[in-house]
Amino acid sequence: MKEGKVFLAVLNPYFNTGLVKELAAKNITSFSLDVIPRTSRAQAMDILSSMATVAGYKAVLTAANTLPKFFPMFMTAAGTITPSKVLILGAGVAGLQAVATARKLGAVVEVFDVRAAVKEQVVGLGAKFVDVEGAVDDKTAGGYAVEQTEEFKQRQAQAVHDHAIKSDVIICTAQIPGKKAPVLLKKATVEAMKPGSVVIDIAASTGGNCEYTQDNKTVVQNGITIIGNSFFAVDMPSDASKMFGKNVINFLKLMVTKEGALNLNWDDDIVKGTAVTHNKGIVHERVKSIINQ
């Protein structure tokens, strides 16, 4: 890459700080598609939502294939088969897609999230919302979860434990941008779960929500299968690629004129909010604050 060039990619700048510094030093104007502002106008460019849709869907299908019992209730000649119980940690795009998929497969679904605002969406999809009082909800966080108080974390841990030990499947999706994924599923909770139960952790690449999670690995602990996979999109390359490509095209339309010329409009909140480096400096405020810590 030559100096003065524009670089568009998924940089994961909150963690790849060395790369960010290198791009700035080489005078490369870089845009990271994974930090596009979470606004209504930017939805058509939001690759995180697109890939999370795939992840939530594939996580449930993987769990259904791994679990040694049916998801739906069946009335059989041998009696009634009770439906599987699924607990979903985190009700972002991936979590809500997991809810929809699990419900379509006939499971009984419960959802935990620190953001009370998502309760209506969860209930609307036919799942039960697990309420834990006292959560901090930062409206400036762009719809993401934020760090919680220690007192809340203790109540949260107990609530998750009580529901987890009754569940057949747990789908972990909770993440906080720029930080390690919150540990919501303790070792003691996993060890108290029913043998044969399945945990799918799609927050594995940032540490995972389960203490037993190992990124890109399947761990079996006391008969519980824990699958760490943050890259389910690669298992659905056709539609995932179409979605990703459309997101990129929509973003490029903000920077490329109809004649094909590059026009970086720094007054556009999406262009400005997605830029990480420019003029040999780091221009993304959150990335800059992480690097300067």
Catalytically active residues are: 38, 43, 46, 49, 144
257 close to 263: Cβ distance less than 8 angstroms: yes
Query: Alpha-carbon distance 277 to 121, whole Å?
Result: 36
Say which DSSP state 168 is in. S
The token duo for 281 is 């400096």
Residues 251, 39: Cα–Cα separation, whole Å: 13
Q: Which residue is listed with tokens 């108080």?
A: 149
Please state, in angstroms and rounded to a whole number, the distance separating the CA atoms of residues 138 and 148. Answer: 10
Distance CA 168, CA 197 (A): 5
Cβ neighbours of 45 (radius 10 Å): 23
CA 120 to chain centre: 19
- Residue 221, burial from CB neighbour count under 10 angstroms (0-12, 13-18, 19+): middle
